[in-house]
Amino acid sequence: MYLVQGNKQLAGQLLHDKSDVMFAGVVAGNHPGFIWVDDPEKPSCALVSSTGLNGFAFLGEPSKSIQPAIFSTFFKHKLPLF
């Protein structure tokens, strides 16, 4: 998982008409939060943290490139820092 900044290009790659507005705002770079993607060059899914909602959401399409062990390590070692 790679930490990236929100922007309009990323929003176009990950969002759809049913995406939550607050999390979509983070992805578009309009609301505070953090975004971790499966591939920084061509993301297909993201874990988004909204500072305003104090919560997380998965956006995009699930990636087969992210193995369960990667998520486990990410949640144990990276998320506690935020």
pLDDT of residue 80: 65
Please, are residues 68 and 75 in contact by the beta-carbon 8 Å criterion?
Answer: no
pTM, full prediction: 0.86
Cα separation values, 53 from 20, 22, 49, Å: 11, 8, 8
Stronger pLDDT, 61 or 71, i.e. the higher one:
61
Long-range contacts of 51-55 (CB under 8 A, 24+ apart): 51/26, 52/22, 53/22, 53/23
Helix (H) / strand (E) containing 48: strand 45-50
Mean pLDDT of all residues in the chain?
A: 89
Q: Provide the number of structural domains found in the chain.
A: 1
Kindly tell me if the per-residue pLDDT of 43 is higher than 80.
yes
Q: Which of 3-17, 51-65, 66-80 has the lowest mean pLDDT?
A: 66-80
Domain that holds residue 42: 2-81
Kindly tell me if the per-residue pLDDT of 15 is higher than 80.
yes
Helix ranges, the chain (H): 8-14, 21-28, 68-77
